[in-house]
């Protein structure tokens, strides 16, 4: 099974550069034989505060060349940590346009789990429901031997020396529960977005891949460098017990820095742009 991976597309009528890179990704996916694609969140530039951006992105997705499964990002739903409280109404609207925020796919000996990282650490009923759902996915003993987890924020793995900044990673308690809880015996791979950087590391037996944005990077003065500041997309190929990963920047995809983008220059004149939150 071949699975295309994209992240942090930040689609909006205010970000034509990101839309152009989206089309470069779409053309690249049309040229390969992928079974389906996974979007790792931050589909929109600021759908959390402008529902029309969710609708705009949803219209673009209708022309994606494969089935597409999504997990929500902070710029789609808000931030469950309290900076931007989660809205039940916005979560419902998101689900109607992009499908459920959590999903499971069985692929041979692999179980692929997509979860809503915005709920983790929120203390909400929805978070408790998601934890119960995760436990249910591993109940059929022997049904799978490998698990791959897909979510917007990377896990906080202190052994990797990750700097701790609120909102950057899944918080420590939820990270521990994901790594040492019911998924522990089968978890092989964690794929996330959010950082706008590419990184591929194995930490205590689990491979952690940070998918970069298709749209843009943040310069070092806005965000510490912890991986490669590139734009691009990924292809995950599952063969038996193997997970092979390739990263590439397709023809026509431009490596913008956030300062290059029209919306950033417009906002910078009047207020601090919210995307600096990614740093």
* Site for Fe ion, rule CB under 5 A: 8, 42
Per DSSP, which regions of 119-170 are E strands?
A: 146-151
CA gyration radius for the chain?
17
Residue 170 Cβ vs Fe ion, minimum distance, rounded to whole Å = 15
Q: 191: part of which helix (H) or strand (E)?
A: strand 187-192
3-state class (DSSP) for residue 31 = coil
Task: Give whichever of 152 and 188 is closer to Fe ion, judged by the CB atom.
Answer: 152
CA–CA separation, 10 vs 42, rounded Å? 6
Using an 8 Å Cβ cutoff, are 167 and 277 in contact?
Answer: yes
Task: Give whichever of 153 and 208 is closer to Fe ion, judged by the CB atom.
Answer: 153
Residue 279 Cβ vs Fe ion, minimum distance, rounded to whole Å = 11
Torsion sign across C-alpha atoms 2, 147, 188, 198: positive
Task: Give whichever of 76 and 127 is closer to Fe ion, judged by the CB atom.
Answer: 76
**Which residues, other chains included, contact 44 with Cβ-Cβ below 8 Å and sequence gap of 6+?**
9, 10, 11, 12, 50, 53, 54, 56, 57, 75, 76
Task: Give whichever of 7 and 183 is closer to Fe ion, judged by the CB atom.
Answer: 7
Residue 215 Cβ vs Fe ion, minimum distance, rounded to whole Å = 8
Residue 278 Cβ vs Fe ion, minimum distance, rounded to whole Å = 5
Cα separations in angstroms, 212 against 6, 68, 97, 134, 215:
8, 18, 23, 26, 9
Cα separations in angstroms, 60 against 10, 12, 54, 98:
12, 10, 10, 11
**DSSP output for 175-188:** HHHHHHSTTTTTEE
Residue 261 Cβ vs Fe ion, minimum distance, rounded to whole Å = 12
Cα separations in angstroms, 11 against 53, 91, 162, 215, 226:
7, 18, 28, 9, 25
Residue 61 Cβ vs Fe ion, minimum distance, rounded to whole Å = 17
Task: Give whichever of 187 and 212 is closer to Fe ion, judged by the CB atom.
Answer: 212
Residue 245 Cβ vs Fe ion, minimum distance, rounded to whole Å = 20
Task: Give whichever of 8 and 116 is closer to Fe ion, judged by the CB atom.
Answer: 8
CA–CA separation, 221 vs 207, rounded Å? 29
Task: Give whichever of 5 and 179 is closer to Fe ion, judged by the CB atom.
Answer: 5
């Amino acid at each position: 099974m071949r699975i295309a991976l994209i992240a942090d597309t930040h689609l909006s009528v205010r970000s034509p550069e990101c839309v152009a890179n989206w089309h470069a990704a779409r053309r690249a996916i049309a040229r390969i034989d992928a079974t389906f694609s996974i979007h790792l969140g931050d589909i929109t530039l600021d759908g959390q505060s402008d529902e029309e951006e969710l609708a705009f992105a949803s219209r673009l997705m209708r022309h994606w060349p494969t089935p597409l499964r999504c997990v929500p990002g902070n710029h789609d739903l808000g931030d469950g940590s309290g900076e931007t409280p989660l809205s039940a109404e916005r979560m419902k609207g998101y689900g109607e346009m992009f499908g459920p925020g959590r999903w499971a796919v069985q692929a041979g000996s692999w179980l692929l789990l997509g979860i809503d990282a915005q709920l983790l650490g929120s203390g909400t009923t929805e978070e408790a429901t998601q934890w119960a759902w995760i436990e249910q996915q591993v109940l059929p003993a022997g049904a799978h031997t490998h698990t791959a987890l897909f979510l917007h924020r990377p896990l906080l793995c202190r052994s990797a020396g990750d700097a701790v900044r609120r909102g950057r990673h899944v918080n420590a308690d939820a990270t521990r529960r994901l790594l040492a809880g019911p998924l522990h015996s089968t978890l092989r791979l964690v794929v996330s977005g959010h950082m706008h950087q590419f990184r591929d590391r194995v930490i205590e037996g689990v491979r952690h891949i940070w998918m970069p944005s298709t749209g843009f990077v943040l310069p070092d003065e806005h965000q510490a460098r912890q991986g490669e500041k590139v734009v691009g997309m990924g292809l995950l190929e599952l063969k038996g017990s193997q997970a092979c990963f390739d990263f590439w920047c397709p023809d026509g995809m431009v490596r913008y820095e956030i300062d290059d983008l029209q919306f950033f220059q417009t906002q910078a004149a009047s207020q601090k742009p919210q995307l600096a939150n990614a740093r």
